[in-house]
Structure 1
Amino acid sequence: MFKQPREIQRKVERIKLLNISLKSFIFSRDYYNIPTPSFSSTSSSWSWLLSSSKQGYHLISTPHNISRSKTLLYRLIVQTFLALFLVTKCCDAAKQDALQSSTGCAFPKRWEGRWFQSGVQQEITIEGSTLSTRGRCIASEGDKFLLVNEKGCHRCVVIYQKHINILQYKESMGCKGRETLHYLCEQIPGDALLYSMFKINPEPIKCPLSGSFTFTYNRGHGECKNPVSKMDMCTEDSRLLLNFQACPDVSGTESTVEELTCLAWWKDGNSRYLVGLVSHYHATSNEDRFRCFVYEKISGSGAANADAEYKLAQSGDATCNGLESAEVGSRIMTLKRAPITERCDFPAWFKGPRHWHALMGNANYIFHPSDGSLHIVKPSGYMEARALCEQINKQTTTEMMAVVHHTTGCTSGYMCVMFYRRDTHVAELQMGTPAARLEDACTTENFDVHRTPFVTLLANNPETQICPMEGYYSIKGFLIPSSSISRHKRNHNNKSRMHRHREVVSFRNQENADSYYYSMEKRKAFSRMRRTAAVAQVLQQPSDNVTQDFYNLESTRARRETMGCNINHNTNRRLYIGCNENTVIEVKPKCKNDEEETYTCHGHWQENQTTFIIAKHLSSQHGVCISYVPIEGNQVQVYAGDTCHRPGMLQAEAGATTTGGFGGGGNSGGVTTTHKTMSNVTVIGKCGDTSTSITLHYRNNSWMILTVLTIVLFNSILR
């Protein structure tokens, strides 16, 4: 079915309108002097015919002039490309407008914090989309940021992250109005000044230059070569100590000590940069402390080469400006690795375990075979001190006196140290007072073997050993250090308060309260009657094993006391050494699940009629030294503490100020605090000695026997 001529006419009109709109939007007919094609059948250049098909009528054109057709085709192609260009430009402008009006631009999270820039009085803060000294970010692309301040000034800031602690940036100059990001960034010249921002209170990094160096330096008045200066590592691998020497023939040199904390380093081209905090008596502000360095290796192969040399240039202010090579700077240094000196070695039995820890648990002593050094490390991982063996004064199979070169922080010196092998997994150290010269370390003024306190060390993962002094005893007091006693009392008081809290019940009237407490008293009285009846039964019906009967009664009382954890440590209790297990020491009765007075033995030795036992708490795994000192007869004094009890060391161990010590064993230059308790112990017998056990139980329970006999006698009189 054919379409109506009216519909065909409407389609022709739409084509005319489309042709007119394109012509008026892009080109002018007069400008190109090209006749407008007509859709009439009388056109000289084009004929429009109606062709019929199954789909209906269609318009087709027939060219009368081939050149006119080509011109029209070229015109259509040009129009299409120009239209695409205009559309692209419009979209780009719209995109920039959208970016400028948005608030979604934000700086990376890792940049947030407080920053210092030389010449800027206040701290610079980066947070979210705000750079405090420049304004708010409204658009970004890569490392380019479009910022606007409160005055409406727009600027492009290009920020480079050299390190997590160092940012450098360039920026467009002047105050611009509403401009695009690309336009403003293109206005930054290639030689624009590069500003540096240093993070305030950053996390230090490991210094790229490690080890000991000797160096010469030049501050523009000549090179100071003699005497030579020295650079050493501190205990932390993020700090270096530079000892500058003054040269009499070179002006501008002085004898001073500077400490450098490394904050960042990066490579830019062939140059390596280092930023650090310099601490010395002239440095009073961030302007004085932040410094930039550029360095390069000038000889030697490999990082740890013995003959390695470096050239290092330092900036004169808190910027990296002007540091283009290691040859130009405020101060030029030539570093040469210090020659490796022959050193002595620590005892083989001490190096074997490689890892020791103090009984207090406040320090680990770790031997490093790579350089033969001993590191004293806190449980947190912080290295408190480092020691190297310098000279051996005397040595046997179990003892060695040596002078060590020790470093604590950035302070170093020489110290006299005694090493004692007490058992396979037990060692002790005595450490003297630091001295500036090696020959002064072991003098009487700096080291007194009779007064210097001991630090007791236990190897990591020590094997258990059979406990000495096997047997069972009567003990009055604690078998735990005083620090554990205070913790035990706190726990006991908390439990007592909870127990009392459960007993304090709110009542609406006094009658109910009286009834409650009357019931409590009745229960207590009934419990006492049952206990008395049990004892009477034991006395009236003698058993073949009286010891076992009394042991059962004692176990019943122990269980009863355990429920409330109300043990009186001032009364006699039982101390078992190697009875239940030959490697275990324990005191009974004890609170339920309370292993504070249960230990495993790991080593022992004898010294001046005193037996020292090194053991571990069964639950906490903390170490303790138990000193067994006989007095007279079957009486013994037992000391339990974080250090071993020695009468001659009482004053030092009790808290005297000591200036020696490079470790964390309680002697690192402050007040030594030890925790020790003394208990009175009576020897009863060997484990399994039944006859002696009977005597012990009758002695400990004589008051109970007398009470029972009195009750029986009273009952007979009443009858």
Structure 2
Amino acid sequence: MLFTVDNGEVCERRTRQRRTSPKAEFYRNTVVPQQSFSHPTMSTKRLLTVITLLLLLLPHQISASSCQFPGEIQGVWARQAVTGALGSLAPTSSLRAQGVTYSMVTIENARISGWGECAAKHNHRYILAERSRIGGPACHRCFHILVVSPNVVVATSQRDGGCYPTMDDAHRSCPETINHHHHEYIRDSQAPERETHRSKDEIRAEMERVRRVTEQIMLYKVKSNWGDESIAEVECPISGVFTFTYERGGVVGSHSRGIGGRGERGREAMCPHPTSEMSNCPYGFGLNLLYRDCAYGQPDQQTLQCLGGWRGAGGLHYMAVLDTSVKSSAGDTRPKYRCGVYHEETLTGRIHLAFSRDSTCETELYSPTEGYERYQLTSVPAPPLPHAVSSRPHCRFPHSLQGHWTTVMLDHDTLVFKDQRNLKRYTAVCVDDVGDGEHFIVFTRTHCGDSNYNCLWLKRRSANILEYMLGLYPNETLDSSLCDADKFGAQTSWNTVAKSELEGPTQCPLLGSFVGELPDAPGYCARLHSHCHKPDAMTYVVTDCADVTNAYEQRDYLCIGEWTEGDKIYGLTYRPDTHTHECFVGVKTEQGKVFIKEAGSVNGICGRGVRPEIMGMELVQEAECKSVEVSNTPGGDGAPSTSLPPSHRSTRHPPPPHGRPPWQRPQQQHDTITKSWKPITASPRWRTAGSDGGISLVSAACSVVPLMCCLLSLLLLQRTDYWTASIT
């Protein structure tokens, strides 16, 4: 519930809580006297007049507090500015390039250059407002912005780029997206029905329909505001060693004149024989291609850096790559970034891969077999298992661990997993069960064919969390001592994965509302509160210590599970806005103090050796969950508004213009290899009665001036048809 109005005490209480805000104090003392607010005959017109004046006087505060972009995507991104180039991945001297150029798009905390300021947000839909330079009404547009990888953002908007005078109008124009999603957690009782099988023609017809009315904008990372490496190393979606054939040319068929098509052209078999080779070896983040027996001449090599993979429009598997052969000089106008779709045949393992003609994911690209450039990949067979493995009695992993996890597939005798540190994919075959239910001697083979014997340690931390670790001393021959305790060193190499479908209810480690001042960032405070009506969700907000309404960023988390090691509590969470997992470690001292710190900056790793009581943030409990009614407005009704302790009070600080925020800057002393907190990324979701999260005028006003909240409350009581611009 957003707020309640029983009598004048609510308005008076909210006003007293925000006396630290000069503008709130000013409006509290200057607007219409309080006794007239509750008068039953007060006209709606009069209230609207007062509220309109307040909104006009406070445009900056409302827009600044309503939403921000995730800190992970703040920086400079490249967007294709000119389409129509005949780009090609395969080397050829006869290629005619019409020219692809890129424009730079800067994403700031609450603004995207050329698109406008962030005025409202719900999930992945953003309302951006661009103010008129001549004093006219603002231009509101709706964008569906999805972070599909650390290097790629997909933005979808209305194709005509129309402007709307209000957020409500812009909301109604929000673009339709087709199955454009990442992995989201579902519980067994909430599992959706399997999508009915659709033919290739049905999927293509649906994609063409959507492309006629929506525009998909691909953004490729150039530079991060945090000063991190511009391109993050991510594992290629296609992993292994393959031979391939290659074709280039227009899409043939009745659909060849669809959106982005250039008319019917014949296919050109450039490399018709399966003698060319492709692999992501030895480094998992790059594809190395060797073209052989091709029509254009001598064998040639090509290197593509993988930028990410995701499930996208039409349910297809998409991937983006960076062509390292394209020079930065003005004379090279070939597409630097490429987008493709791929599909693996279940029975044969053959992979079909197609790329678009430019840096978009739409131009002459409809399916893994219908694209401007087409590859057919055949996996190079792995050698048979050693006799020492195949001749031994059957070994099985525990039945309770079998199934799909985030980066692990566990069968009765085979474990397939990704090494998040080294970007390698392993297949481990069970050779011998040591007998304790956790340690197993396995034969491992990487996606590049490297193999050895090792010990695999499996540890079930909770119903939804599994950790695994390989021994530090692999051997080329089978050795019964591989699982000895001394083979695991300091036990600091755990890999953490979560169930793909969560089992049973989960709960966040901290229930209630907590506040603390950030280490090495005086004046900045963090609030952590669990959603009491939904104990598996929590929100983390960074604000000024002196003014909790001045929120810089916010993250929402889904708690996957927790476990205890010694005096430390580890918790694994999932962030819906960036589709990543984050691990935290906390400790509670004998004096009742609570400290918390991030336990790993690499997705899927809960680092050990972290000492939150020294390097972490101390939290002070403001309220217990039984007395908290959670709201997504910092300092609002749902988050307890207990005054900060004197040690947490300080002056107001403006947000830093460049680099990481102060609460993200590296600490002077490091006792672990983990980084400090990244910025909070999820924007506040304004909730109204009867909606599951939306943006309303009421919530925006209440977050700025408590008096305005009271005015709008009375208006809501008088007018049941109150307009709410909620995004659903």
TM bracket (short chain): 0.3 to 0.5
What's the TM-score once normalised by structure 2's chain length? 0.33
Q: Which has the higher helix share?
A: 1
Task: Please say which structure displays the higher CA radius of gyration.
Answer: 1
